[in-house]
Amino acid sequence: SQQGEEDPQALSIQEGENATMNCSYKTSINNLQWYRQNSGRGLVHLILIRSNEREKHSGRLRVTLDTSKKSSSLLITASRAADTASYFCATWMDSSYKLIFGSGTRLLVRP
């Protein structure tokens, strides 16, 4: 079952622009994670934000979490062609004891 819905489903931007992806979820979480997947390959963990955190940074990535709205956003600044990939949010709920992935956003960065 899907816990997270991501928006937009697909995003196309020019190199150098910022990319913002949003994730909404339905029930209380322990943490929320973002992963990147290059076409047909394994997922790479990007960042984990815990339910008591509001914002986290890692390099060109900025993640926010609003537990009152049950939503998170991933901002990629100064995008590069190499950022072209699918991005998934994933939520961890203690009640389900597993990581559940959102529907994903396909990002295309045009050179």
Partner 1 sequence: DTEVTQTPKHLVMGMTNKKSLKCEQHMGHRAMYWYKQKAKKPPELMFVYSYEKLSINESVPSRFSPECPNSSLLNLHLHALQPEDSALYLCASSQEGQLSYEQYFGPGTRLTVT
44 counts as binding partner 1 under rule CB under 8 A: yes
Cα–Cα distance for residue pair 85/105, rounded to 1 Å: 8
2 binds partner 1 (CB under 8 A): yes
Q: Which window, 14-22, 57-65, 77-85, 92-100, contacts partner 1 (CB under 8 A)?
A: 92-100
The minimum distance between CB 16 and partner 1, in angstroms, equals: 27
Residues 6+ apart with CB under 8 A from 102: 2, 3, 4, 5, 6, 23, 25, 88, 89, 90, 91
The reply on whether position 30 binds partner 1 by CB under 8 A is yes
51 binds partner 1 (CB under 8 A): no
Using CB under 8 A, count the residues that bind partner 1. Answer: 24
Question: d(Cα 41, Cα 89) in Å, to the nearest integer?
Answer: 17
Using DSSP's 3-state secondary structure scheme, residue 70 falls into: coil
87 binds partner 1 (CB under 8 A): no
Q: Dihedral of the CA atoms 27, 31, 32, 38 (nearest 10)?
A: -130
Residues that bind partner 1 (CB under 8 A): 2, 30-31, 33, 35, 40-45, 48, 88, 92, 94, 97-104, 106
